[in-house]
Structure 1
């Protein structure tokens, strides 16, 4: 459950802003058909903060209907711990396989507050938890010292490592061994993280390019590093689109061009326009023109 490629999927909307469950079913199915190992819904890329709790649980249900026996995780990223605990409990009742938990994205918790918040959410959901550490976007760094304080709770099983410091993956493994599954959460550091021991990839551009993402992961695990690197070098300009304030719009445009999906987003976001749109579209179209022929990996 805590290895492989886990897409952080986008949430699909109709033109009038309602949830587009039919399009989500289609797009989620493409991930499963490509060999992804589960789904993560309602994260940053999934516009979770723009969804009501009921909408998030509805997206979870749609993902579960497509994923079958593969795990579906719900992201918990609430301003308040009380609200985070309520969502975690609702996810458990709805049959989520686990949670990906972000400390408050609004208030930058200190070490004691981070431990208390993560512990409270884990207890409320009583599900396996992947800690989401992203000091760049959320200003809270879940360091190995904090992880040490959480290690006694068996519900904490994994970390989505998004510190933007590739050294952190090695530091966690050196300190904890296999106590925590380490998954890379930065698309354009994925090859590097997998090279030094990450066991999974919480991926973004996978939603537009699932076969290539899965191929890189499987080739790396098979020891076919040179083949994986060749695909990764082609992929890098696309992967850079994930590391942006506009990652949602960037990736939804990539989905529109690569798999024929929609670009509808929830305000205050708006679809890309002008020079920014032209630049992203050029990156995606160039990648599509140069798309590599993939080789199977065991």
Structure 2
């Protein structure tokens, strides 16, 4: 159902902290024009937990406006299952094509609780679901055994695999075949995951470098691995910026440099400063200075 490059978009703010609808429209269209395969709103990178439900629905609607016939998903990541179910219903009513669901945030659920939480959200929203498995950031590991307990519910269609163990993808494929769409969620091992069978990439640095991201995906699908690897090796220092406590600030700075966007974040986050900012900006500008020429890409099937 969900394959290819699906960027997890950033949320743009005005100087007064309100949502900057016009800038989001501009940035989302940049992604679509580059050939991405859908958009995901209000994830970790989109500062979802810092937004009200109404704000998240507003961002989702902007994503759907831009994505057209391609999918627009809303991330559900709430401390309480009750609130997650409420947001899932709001997303359905607002026209979401699906949900990307984090099992829990503040309280770290055990396997029984993880299954119950995910099933409750699926029932509430009655939409296709991408399970967001990120044991490092959210302390809940959606293992293959947990996925087996969810496999009989057709609403669970995909997994965003962010365990930071590239071997997990092969374990999922060996256990379930093509039952779940498998999308890698860790930018700096995307090539490894895609060449091992992942069917998509929930991407972060795509927001500043969409053409390179799409090129890697399409070249891998065409088995033009050498060409894809050449781009990926250039991309790796940038992709490392996604695997950081400061991923939001890092990627918003990259968007500002690449596309003239703004890097406003919602408190308690603050824009990068000092030596950290110097290092990140150097990484971005160094990469731009030696940006590779992209080959003619294969057409989509």
TM-score past 0.5 threshold: yes
TM interval, short-chain normalised: over 0.9
Query: Would the aligned equivalents of 1:2 and 1:181 in 2 still touch at CA under 8 Å?
Result: yes
- TM-score where L is the length of structure 2: 0.98
Match of 2:104 in 1: 104
What's the CA shift string for 1:6-63, capped at 9, x where partnerless?
0000000011111000000000000000000000000000000000000000011111
- TM-score where L is the length of structure 1: 0.99
Match of 1:191 in 2: 191
Match of 1:256 in 2: 256
Extract structure 1 runs of 4+ deviating beyond 3 A.
none
CA distance in 2, matches of 1:213, 1:79: 32
Partner SS, residue 154 of structure 1:
coil
Match of 1:205 in 2: 205
CA distance in 1, matches of 2:168, 2:61: 34
Shift of 1:267: 0.1
Does residue 280 of structure 1 match 2:280? yes
Partner SS, residue 142 of structure 1:
coil
Unmatched segments (≥5 aa) in structure 2: none
Query: Would the aligned equivalents of 1:249 and 1:271 in 2 still touch at CA under 8 Å?
Result: yes
CA distance in 2, matches of 1:290, 1:194: 24
Partner SS, residue 132 of structure 1:
strand
What's the CA shift string for 1:238-267, capped at 9, x where partnerless?
000000000000000000001110000000
Query: Would the aligned equivalents of 1:222 and 1:297 in 2 still touch at CA under 8 Å?
Result: no
Partner SS, residue 239 of structure 1:
helix
CA distance in 2, matches of 1:64, 1:161: 24
Shift of 1:103: 1.0
Matches within 5 A, 1:56-67: 56-67=56-67
What's the CA shift string for 1:140-186, capped at 9, x where partnerless?
00000000000010000000000000100000000000000100000
Partner SS, residue 160 of structure 1:
strand
Match of 1:178 in 2: 178
Query: Would the aligned equivalents of 1:6 and 1:36 in 2 still touch at CA under 8 Å?
Result: yes
Match of 1:6 in 2: 6
CA distance in 2, matches of 1:106, 1:276: 28
CA distance in 1, matches of 2:106, 2:227: 41
Match of 2:46 in 1: 46
Match of 2:119 in 1: 119
CA RMSD of aligned residues (A): 0.5
Matches within 5 A, 1:81-160: 81-160=81-160
Unmatched segments (≥5 aa) in structure 1: none
Partner SS, residue 201 of structure 2:
strand
Shift of 1:65: 1.1
Partner SS, residue 100 of structure 2:
strand
